[in-house]
Amino acid sequence: MGRGYLRIIGELFALARPYWFPFSLAFVSLVGTAVVEVSIPQVVRHTIDRYVVPRYAPDKATGEMVDVTTLSKWEVEKRVGPERYYRTPIGYLEPEDLFKRPYDEILKLREEDLKAINRMFLLFVLLLVLRFILNFSFVFLSSWVGQKVANDLRLRTFNHALRLPVSFYDRTPLGVIITRLTNDINSIVETFTGGFLNIFQNVLMFFAALVLMFAISVRLTLLVLLLIPVILILSYVFAGFFAKAWRKVRTGIARLNAFVQETIWGLKTIQNFMAYDLVKRRFEEINSYLYSAYMGVVYIAGVFRPALSFLSYVAIAIVVWYSAGGIMKGDITFGGLVAFLSYIDILFKPVQEFAQRIQVVQSSAAGYEKVKTFLSNPTEYEERRGTLRGEEREEVIRFQDVRHSYDGRRWALRGVTFSVRKGEKVALVGRTGSGKTTILNLILGFYVPTEGEVLVYGIPTADWDITALRSLYAPVMQDLTVFADSIPMNITLGYDLDYKGILEELEITYLLHKEYHELSAGEKQLVSIARALAFNRPIIVFDEATSNLDPITELKLQRILVERFKNKTLIIVAHRLATARIADRIIVLEDGRIVEEGNHEELMERRGKYYELYKLQEV
């Protein structure tokens, strides 16, 4: 792993700082697990060498029996021969002499050794239990910390998403954002549960096993270590392959989520026009990309792991081959051989798991990089650091020679100038794409004009405190927003507002008995209108607010708008010009310019663009 990955890992662990105590306990449990793991072969070695195989031999010089397990290797070579004896109540016996006796007599002669073996078995079981407890503590605590970090990061990412400017969502598929909140953050949890901490544990066990292997047999350990450079080179090379493969997987997941979200949103269109082949073909392309990305990871792992397994078996073969003569020469004991083979497994297991752990860390790092990139997008509060709050005045809104472009290539508005006075009802009309919704977006502060100024209460929208600016408006937009909640909650949005009187006034109290998913398009529009009425803000914005209503309901709504909002500033975007008739002034737009302005009667007398649109709708 390069410095970039280490930096990312450092940032990930910094996220766990609020949970340092359980994280520290998890770390202690991890170290304890490693210590117990390397201790178990020592118990086995001690049991075999002291209580299973004969351990006494006559001293060449004195003829007295000595315990060979208490001698160093050079002392064994000089002081004793190859013969070994058991110590029994009736004296020292050779294995052949002991095992030709009756079974009951053997048990009686080896009673002390059997008791010792039972004690060592109990110690072995206790170590296993301790390993289970420590391992459980590590898994539970590290998972708890990981989930806490993920929960915090998910909340932070979601809150950040809520405050991103509308322009960000214009260029970013919703599926990509969903991926950041789900898959990418979930992958970060694995850093704590199966990633970097496990790598640390594996490194600790690797060096502990290495030290104990040297203590058992220097020659055997050096022979095994000849394979380590090969393993390290393999690990380094494959780590780079894994990093590239996992980045490709993350990209594929984001593309797939974005496409599925887009398809679900447009499902009715797909079904109506039977565009199944087109959608299927695009899905197959994206799915094939993701399949290839995952297979790249599988292929790399499929080569790396068997290669490491092969090297570990080569090491075992070398040890068995060498030990055949080493036991006879006293270079290694039988218990030492058993322990050494266990340590080979402990030594190579971390290296074998290194690929998997590296995959986890790199997957987490790739996910964190994408989340971090998402969080680096400035919110509208950061882009627009305005702090001003205007006071009510006669002129509510003014557009001063405003030009605006969304993409820097095509102008959506071209030199638009007009003003809206307090209590005035202004309608924006024109053909599709004439700039009506763009004007609303600029009024609501979703965008800052490319050129010119949009002033609200005499202050440019760019200089307003964005929260204060939004609190002036009660919008009803083209996109009908109904949340997966109760109808009252959809109207009040959690605020303490009087909504029942509004529903009665609109004669739509029956909606209280409906679920959100049972609402028709017209009923969703009525809920949005009721929401705007309930919030009772000084500036009301209607963007095609009656497009889904029947004529009777539309006329009723027009009457309520005139009566209830007679002292409110009302801005209406209308394709159906019958709604525009209630306005004090109508602004006609075409190709981003104002081409006419006046009330309904004045514009009809001029017989211009408004007259053409009105007559066309009459037909």
Of residues 237 and 464, more confidence is placed in 464
Which one-letter DSSP state was computed for residue 510? Answer: G
Give the per-residue pLDDT at 597. Answer: 93
Give the per-residue pLDDT at 269. Answer: 64
DSSP assignment of 254-273 equals HHHHHHHHHHHHTHHHHHHT
pLDDT-derived band at 452 (thresholds 50, 70, 90) equals very high
Of residues 260 and 265, more confidence is placed in 260
Average confidence (pLDDT) over 318-328: 65
Closest CA relative to residue 367, chosen from 190, 532, 548: 190
Average confidence (pLDDT) over 127-155: 89
Q: Are 308 and 352 within 8 A, CB to CB?
A: yes
Residue 508: alpha-carbon gap to chain centroid: 42
pLDDT-derived band at 549 (thresholds 50, 70, 90) equals low
Average confidence (pLDDT) over 156-169: 84
Give the per-residue pLDDT at 388. Answer: 86
Give the per-residue pLDDT at 311. Answer: 75
In the three-class reduction of DSSP (H, G, I as helix; E, B as strand; rest coil), residue 23 is classed as: helix
Of residues 276 and 437, more confidence is placed in 437
Question: CA 572, CA 583: separation in Å to the nearest integer?
Answer: 8
pLDDT-derived band at 355 (thresholds 50, 70, 90) equals low
* Most confident of the ranges 94-103, 345-354, 402-411: 402-411
Tell me: pLDDT of 126 over 90: yes
Average confidence (pLDDT) over 84-110: 84
**Residues 220-253: pLDDT tens digits?**
888 878 777 777 777 777 777 777 887 788 788 8
Question: CA 77, CA 79: separation in Å to the nearest integer?
Answer: 6
User: What are the strands of the beta sheet with 395-405, ordered from one edge?
Assistant: 411-421, 395-405, 451-456, 459-460
Of residues 460 and 302, more confidence is placed in 460
Closest CA relative to residue 249, chosen from 280, 283, 282, 295: 295
Of residues 235 and 16, more confidence is placed in 16
Token pair in block for residue 156: 């932070």
**Residues 371-422: pLDDT tens digits?**
888 888 888 777 777 788 888 888 999 999 999 998 888 899 999 999 999 9
Tell me: pLDDT of 93 over 90: no
pLDDT-derived band at 595 (thresholds 50, 70, 90) equals very high
Tell me: pLDDT of 328 over 70: no
Name residues whose C-beta falls within 8 Å of residue 332's C-beta, 6 or more positions apart in sequence.
Answer: 216, 217, 220, 323, 326, 340
* Most confident of the ranges 137-146, 473-482, 523-532, 592-601: 592-601
Q: Are strands 473-476 and 395-405 parallel, antiparallel or unpaired?
A: unpaired
Give the per-residue pLDDT at 224. Answer: 79
Could you give all domains of the chain from N- to C-terminal order, each with its CATH number?
A: 9-21+143-380 (1.20.1560.10), 395-618 (3.40.50.300)
Give the per-residue pLDDT at 594. Answer: 94
pLDDT-derived band at 587 (thresholds 50, 70, 90) equals very high
Average confidence (pLDDT) over 202-223: 84
* Most confident of the ranges 133-137, 185-189, 376-380: 133-137
**Residues 141-153: pLDDT tens digits?**
888 888 888 888 8
> For the ranges 88-97, 157-166, 359-368, 590-599, which has the lowest average pLDDT?
359-368
On average, the pLDDT of the chain sits at 82
Closest CA relative to residue 599, chosen from 424, 415, 395, 394: 424
Of residues 200 and 430, more confidence is placed in 430
Give the per-residue pLDDT at 416. Answer: 93
Give the per-residue pLDDT at 113. Answer: 85
